[in-house]
């Protein structure tokens, strides 16, 4: 008997990726950035806009629309069979890829575009940005205490560090690695190398998190094109096959979290590896959601790349750097490439595809055949894990 996971493994592929300009992109709204991403990804594939018969987007927080995907379709004057707006925070990218894969596999659509964009840096005033950060908590049990998003993640960081003896210097190494990788990416928002001392001496935001432990605030967007494996070889660039994916959901509000040292990445990772028929040792390069430095350590352990309590030493030893055993966030991640809100995780996916294409130049991981992308939304709440592979792994 063939399971649904067996049927989905390698049945679809990502055949197009594109990023917009990132950082501060003044005078361009979120809708324009989203359309720009779609036009760029069509250029990457050689498709016409009229070829899109499935469109999945994520709504803008700066300029929200009631029907976001339909608005983007109208803007481009395309008429897909499916328009869908999805929001599970930073995990949306994996969830939408899973939806696109299912839609293609069942024959509903042939060409599905996923596009996300936001102008958090130039579209919000300082007060508006602070207001969004303070609105993440439960309106009755958390918001009255005034904790913004960095303070909520600082609770996870403090618990994790206390339980396992992880140091602030080890957290800082995550930021240093990300910046080193970003320095090799011509499109990254922050490219000036930093040291552990720079991170430790940067302004304290929410103890134990310093400014450089925290992700950027950016404008930017990205888009992906998926199609069936049968069609994938017809496109200009090597396809990245969807080998496995999974979701994990542990809580929505911080006050309801069951653990402050583990996350539902364990469940999303288990599902993804099971579908792919692979284990952590098979992964050549990873994109791991890095909204704050301690999140990377927790997720490395949850996904099985390290034993409990060993991620700090793993990072300190340079294992997540280019040349290490598991290069992580070779584009610079949310800490140094860009973080425009929910679309930030798209850049982890576009980088993973480029790594499998062998198109990353000086930041290329040699002989990369399997890439893992892990993303999460909320306060370590909703998790999605994706495993992509080259033709050789399908």
Q: What is the mean pLDDT of each run of 10 residues along the chain (394 residues)?
A: 69 98 96 98 98 96 93 97 92 93 96 97 80 76 85 96 98 98 98 98 97 97 98 96 97 91 97 97 98 98 97 98 98 98 95 98 97 95 97 91
What global pTM score does this model have?
A: 0.95
**pLDDT recorded at residue 4:** 57
**pLDDT recorded at residue 145:** 82
Q: Long-range contacts: 134-143, Cβ < 8 Å, 24+? A: 136/378, 136/379, 137/253, 137/254, 137/255, 138/253, 138/254, 138/255, 141/253, 141/255, 142/253, 142/254, 142/255
**pLDDT recorded at residue 2:** 40
Sorted by sequence, the CB contacts under 8 Å of residue 199 that are 6+ apart come out as: 171, 172, 175, 176, 210, 212, 213
**pLDDT recorded at residue 1:** 33
Find out whether 17 and 78 touch, Cβ atoms under 8 Å. no
**pLDDT recorded at residue 5:** 63
**pLDDT recorded at residue 313:** 98
Q: Could you give the CA distance from residue 72 to residue 226 in angstroms, rounded to a whole number?
A: 18
Find out whether 351 and 330 touch, Cβ atoms under 8 Å. yes
Q: Could you give the CA distance from residue 189 to residue 34 in angstroms, rounded to a whole number?
A: 18
Q: Which of 212, 205, 200, 207 is nearest to 159 (CA)?
A: 207
Q: Is 65 a catalytic residue?
A: no
Pick the CATH number of 4-124+216-393 from 3.40.50.300, 3.40.50.2300, 3.40.47.10, 1.10.3720.10: 3.40.47.10
Beta-ladder partners of 31: none
Q: Could you give the CA distance from residue 216 to residue 311 in angstroms, rounded to a whole number?
A: 23
Q: Is 164 a catalytic residue?
A: no
Site of tokens 């390698």: 10
Give the active site residue among 153, 160, 241, 337.
337
Find out whether 273 and 287 touch, Cβ atoms under 8 Å. no
């Amino acid at each position: 008997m063939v399971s649904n996971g067996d049927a989905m493994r390698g049945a679809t592929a990502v055949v197009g990726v594109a990023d917009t300009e990132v950082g501060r992109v003044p005078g361009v709204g979120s809708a324009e950035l989203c359309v720009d991403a779609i036009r760029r990804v069509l250029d990457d594939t050689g498709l016409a806009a009229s070829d899109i018969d499935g469109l999945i987007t994520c709504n803008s927080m700066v300029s929200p629309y009631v029907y976001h995907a339909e608005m983007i379709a109208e803007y481009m004057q395309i008429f897909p069979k499916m328009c869908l707006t999805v929001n599970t925070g930073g995990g949306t990218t994996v969830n939408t890829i899973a939806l696109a894969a299912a839609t293609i596999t069942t024959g509903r659509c042939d060409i599905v575009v996923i596009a996300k964009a936001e102008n958090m840096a130039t579209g919000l005033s300082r007060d508006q940005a602070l207001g969004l950060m303070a609105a993440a908590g439960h309106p009755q049990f958390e918001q009255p205490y005034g904790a913004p998003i960095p303070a909520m993640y600082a609770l996870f960081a403090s618990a994790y560090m206390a339980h396992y003896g992880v140091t602030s210097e080890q957290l800082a190494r995550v930021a240093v690695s990300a910046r080193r990788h970003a320095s090799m990416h011509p499109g990254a928002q922050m490219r000036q190398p930093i040291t552990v001392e720079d991170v430790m001496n940067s302004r304290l935001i929410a103890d134990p998190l310093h400014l450089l432990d925290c992700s950027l605030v950016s404008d930017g967007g990205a888009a992906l094109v998926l199609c069936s494996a049968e069609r994938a070889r017809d496109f200009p660039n090597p396809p990245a096959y969807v080998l496995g994916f999974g979701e994990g959901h542990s809580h929505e509000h911080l006050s309801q979290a069951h653990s402050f040292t583990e996350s539902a990445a364990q469940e999303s990772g288990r599902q993804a590896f099971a579908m792919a028929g692979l284990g952590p040792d098979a992964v050549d390069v990873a994109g791991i959601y890095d909204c704050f430095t301690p999140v990377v350590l927790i997720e490395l352990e949850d996904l099985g790349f390290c034993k409990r309590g060993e991620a700090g030493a793993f990072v300190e030893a340079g294992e997540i750097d280019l040349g290490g055993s598991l290069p992580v966030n070779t584009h610079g991640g949310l800490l140094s490439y860009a973080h425009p809100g929910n679309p930030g995780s798209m850049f982890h996916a576009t980088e993973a595809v480029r790594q499998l294409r062998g198109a990353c130049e000086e930041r290329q991981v040699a002989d990369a055949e399997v890439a893992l992308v892990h993303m999460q939304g909320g306060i370590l709440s909703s998790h999605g894990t994706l495993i992509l592979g080259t033709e050789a792994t399908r």
